[in-house]
Amino acid sequence: MRLAAVLLSALVLTTSTACGQAGDSADDPMRVGVVLFNTDLPSFAPLMAGITAKGEELGVEVDIQNGQLDPARQAQLVQQFVTRRVDAIVISASDANAVVPAVRQANAAGIPVLGLTNDIGEGAERLTYVGSDNVAFGEILAQGALEATKPDAKVAIILGALGTTSERQRTEGIEKFVGANPGMEIIARQTANWDNAQALKVGQDLLAKYPPGTLDAIICEGPEGAAAAKYAASAGRSDVKFIVGDTSQDVLAQLEAGTIAGTGFQNFFDQGGTAIQYAVDAASGRDAQVPQPNAYAPIELYTAADVAKIPANSLF
């Protein structure tokens, strides 16, 4: 909660100091506009911390705006950054395709655009994408379920918010891995909308519907699966192994306790900082220093044996 409060204060300050037009003077600081599809997501706390830290390190004014899970609002925010002539725009869009027309406007204005955590759809130019390969992320989650159970495992999926790029791609990766391992079977799937309370309810429903011996693993595409895993442990359902995407403080604690068998780990703090560095490079004419077309972040499948590898600044 303290981290979230500090970040909120930083965002308000940054927004208020970066509301004018980008200056023509060489003495004016570079300005980077950032659109995140939902800044209220707990997993975005380390992402915003990394963005803010790198901006301060480079002397860049960073304006982070909340897309509120609304594709139309996200497109509008991009258009506002174009009108204000910021030096670069970083976008994490909930719908990769919905933001394309606004990105085209940035392209026409000569403003470099980068994708972050969720890529930008085809039909517009972006310099690079910073974040995990979400299809590969889904494959890693399914791999974790296989390793924690057996070759003919029956699995259920707690989905993210339906239609979001990360949900679609992680689901694609899970299905791809299961399809390559014919003994595995997906027997149920239901969305929890990246929400802890909804994930708990979905987990309870799955455990009630599938008695011991009929369900081997639950894969949750986000860290909200920790709530369901905690409930399963309290209900004595150690027969069901939980694999969750992304690593929160709660996930880490349950990983150590053994109530979660594995987590797909990526470092959001590093990704945020990397995106700002590459945005500054692009705005400074150093495109060649930016990995293209993708700057994929490392993804790891971590179990209880790996908790010491997880840096504190990546947790939320």
For the cut 60, the answer to whether the pLDDT of residue 13 exceeds it is no
For the beta carbon of residue 299, count every other beta carbon within 10 angstroms.
19
- Which domains occur in the chain, in start order? 31-131+268-296 (3.40.50.2300), 134-266 (3.40.50.2300)
CB 225 within 8 A of CB 203: yes
Per-residue model confidence as pLDDT tens digits over 252-290:
999 999 999 999 999 999 999 999 999 999 999 999 999
Q: What is the pLDDT of residue 230?
A: 96
Unique residue bearing structure tokens 């940054």: 14
Of the candidates 13, 28, 123, 36, the one whose C-alpha atom is nearest the C-alpha of residue 85 is 28
**Helices 44-58 and 2-17, axial angle in degrees (round to 10):** 50
Task: Write down the pLDDT at residue 14.
Answer: 42
* More reliable by pLDDT, 60 or 23: 60
pLDDT tens digits along 70-106: 999 999 999 999 999 999 999 999 899 999 999 999 9
Tell me what pLDDT residue 27 has.
72
The model's confidence at residue 25, banded by pLDDT at 50, 70 and 90, is: low
Q: Work out the widest C-alpha separation in the chain, in whole angstroms.
A: 69
Question: Are 167 and 239 contacting, i.e. CB atoms less than 8 angstroms apart?
Answer: no
The predicted model scores a pTM of: 0.84
